[in-house]
Amino acid sequence: MIPQLVTYHQRRRDGRWLRLYVPVVPVALLLSPLLLVAGLAGLVACLVFRVSPVGALRGTAQVLWALPGSRFEIEQGRTAVLVSVR
Amino acid sequence: MSEKEEGRPVNEQRRQILEMLGEGKITADEAERLINAVEREQPESPPGAAPRAKTRPKYLRVVVHSEDDFNGPSRVNVRVPLQLLRAGVRLTSLIPPQALTEVNAKLNKSGVPIDLTQLKPQHIEELIEQLDDVTVDVDDPDTKVQVFCE
């Protein structure tokens, strides 16, 4: 399953929370023209550095598929950041 | 956990934990650990049925608590799916040999004589497979570090 929702929470120094919920699929659709360009740049990079484009695509897909469930929580003093992928 | 609690349905225990979380008696992290513990203690199968195989851990957890007089207390809580580590390891097989040679040279220069060309993906795969049983606990007066799989 690809990531559905990326959550970003940040507690500022004044104690207020910034909460961002990023729905991955709609945002990816919105950015699809940019993703196409990035894909082409990746293909060129693979050819330049003699890396198998199919292998690179498969590896990237595996990383993307394995991302859901990741959670990073860092808190120091009054500042805190939480990134969660679901 | 008491015998009385063990006899209760898991859903009820989970609801109690969530209530404690809602009342602020425990933190979200503690609630998560308690729910995991309740799920682990749940009878795997009805009496008389063949015992099921032990469920394999899915996540690698790194928890750091540190008390710093200057910056205040700091806390790091990272949960990474083991599948992500495996996927990352498979990506390393794509690194071109000339890049590995350059990395080796830099590592040597920094005093870390590791030959990455000898490190095969299947070796790292085996390493990740064995991570299930790894538990690292570091207790220091100011810092506590825990690395475990769940």
Domain ranges of chain A: 5-85
What's the token pair of residue B25? 């008696």
Q: Cα dist. B31→A75, B35, B46, B119 in Å? A: 18, 6, 27, 40
**Are the beta carbons of B73 and A66 separated by less than 8 Å?**
no
**Gyration radius of chain B over CA positions:** 21
Which one of B59, B76, B99 has the shortest CB-CB distance to A74? B76
pLDDT in tens, B107-144: 999 988 888 888 777 777 788 778 777 888 998 888 89
Tracing tokens 């933190």 back to the chain, one arrives at B27
Interface test with A, best of B60, B62, B80, B149 (most A CBs within 10 A): B80
Choose, out of B29, B79, B82, the residue to mutate when testing the contact with A (most A CBs < 10 Å).
Answer: B79
Q: How far apart are CA A46 and CA A21, in angstroms?
A: 33
> What pLDDT was estimated at residue B115?
83
Task: Measure the CA angle with vertex A67, ends B60 and A45; round to 5°.
Answer: 120
Under the banding of pLDDT at 50, 70 and 90, the label for residue B3 is: very low
* Nearest CB partner across the interface for B80, out of A49, A52, A70: A70
B58-97 pLDDT per residue, tens: 899 999 998 876 777 899 999 999 888 888 877 877 888 8
Query: In this structure, what token pair is assigned to residue A45?
Result: 């990079």
Residue B111 parent element (H or E): none
Q: Is the ipTM of this complex over 0.85?
A: no
**Inter-chain Cβ pairs, chain A and chain B, closer than 8 A:** 68
Q: What are the chain A neighbours of B143 within 8 Å (beta carbons)?
A: none
Q: What digits encode the pLDDT tens for the residues B35-64?
A: 777 777 665 445 444 445 567 788 999 999
Find the CB nearest A75 among B58, B74, B93: B74
- Looking at the complex, report in whole angstroms how far the Cα of residue B110 sits from the nearest Cα belonging to chain A: 25
What pLDDT, in 10s, does the model give residues A39-58? 999 999 999 988 889 989 99
Provide mean pLDDT across the span A66-86. 93
User: Nearest C-alpha of chain A: how many angstroms from B128?
Assistant: 15
Alpha-carbon distance B62 to B59, whole Å?
10
pLDDT for the residue numbered B90: 79
pLDDT at B140: 85
CB-CB under 8 Å, B87 with A59:
yes
Instruction: Name the residue of chain B whose CA is nearest to A49's CA.
Output: B96
Is residue A64 predicted with pLDDT exceeding 50?
yes
pLDDT at B72: 78
Q: Indicate the burial class of B17 (C-beta count within 10 angstroms; 0-12, 13-18, 19 or more).
A: buried
Q: At A71, is the pLDDT very low, low, confident or very high (cuts 50, 70, 90)? A: very high
* Portion of chain B with pLDDT greater than 90, in percent: 14
pLDDT greater at residue A11 or residue B46: A11
State residue B1's pLDDT score: 45
CA dist., res. B108 & res. B146, Å (int): 30
Question: Could you give the count of Cα atoms lying within 13 Å of B41 in the half-sphere of its Cβ?
Answer: 19
The mean predicted confidence, pLDDT, of chain B is 78
Res B38: pLDDT: 76
* Minimal-distance CA residue of chain B relative to A57: B91
Q: Which of A59, A67, A74 is facing B91, going by the closest CB pair?
A: A59
Q: Quick check: B2 pLDDT over 50?
A: no
Q: What is the percent of chain A with per-residue pLDDT over 90, rounded to a whole number?
A: 77
